[in-house]
Amino acid sequence: MMALYPGTFDPITRGHLDIVERAAEIFDGLELAVVMERGKELCFSADERLSLARSSVREAGLEDRVEVTLFDGLLVEYMRRRDLRVFIRGLRATSDFEYEFQMQLMNRRLAPEITGIYLMPAENNMYISSTLVREIARYRGDLSSFVMPSVESALRRRMGEGAPTDRT
């Protein structure tokens, strides 16, 4: 059975990749679906997020088990078109649970044949979020333990600086 892991991934983090790796071990295949997300202000365009997700999956050595795609619209409608029945979401904190609980109930109402499975990342990735990663990049902090090298480079370029020279 194939599963879908949807998200904005602005940018994709090591926390996301932790969930990708866990899901890829459970399912026969995994599609990481980058949401186009037109109504939200994002750091990277859809094409940039797609490219960063692909490079991160490759850098993590997961490219043989994970397909990276781009989609727009309702999740359940996209899943129906792709004949998928399970989506994956990560849970880090109570706030994630509350949001995901509401989304699961709505998705179940729209498409009862589709269900969500929720995975927790390892403890060292529990606090990582794309928002915090962008904030660290804005203040030129060390990003190496939060994102893959390709994402770090893209963030540095986006924030107007080259690669850091000192990681002390």
16 an active-site residue? yes
Which residue in 55, 56, 130, 150 is the catalytic one? 130
What are the two backbone dihedrals, phi and then psi, of residue 75, each rounded to the nearest 5 degrees?
A: -55, -50
Which residue in 58, 65, 85, 92 is the catalytic one? 92
51 an active-site residue? no
Residue 42 tokens, joined = 């994002």
> Using an 8 Å Cβ cutoff, are 70 and 32 in contact?
no
Residue 159 tokens, joined = 């924030």
Q: Is 5 left (phi over 0), alpha (psi -120 to 50) or beta?
A: beta
What are the two backbone dihedrals, phi and then psi, of residue 144, each rounded to the nearest 5 degrees?
A: -60, -30
User: Any idea what DSSP says for residue 125?
Assistant: G
CA distance to 17, 48, 155, per residue, from 146 (Å):
10, 18, 12
Which residue in 16, 49, 54, 89 is the catalytic one? 16
156 an active-site residue? no
Which residue in 38, 40, 109, 167 is the catalytic one? 40
134 an active-site residue? no
Residues labelled as active-site residues: 16, 40, 92, 130
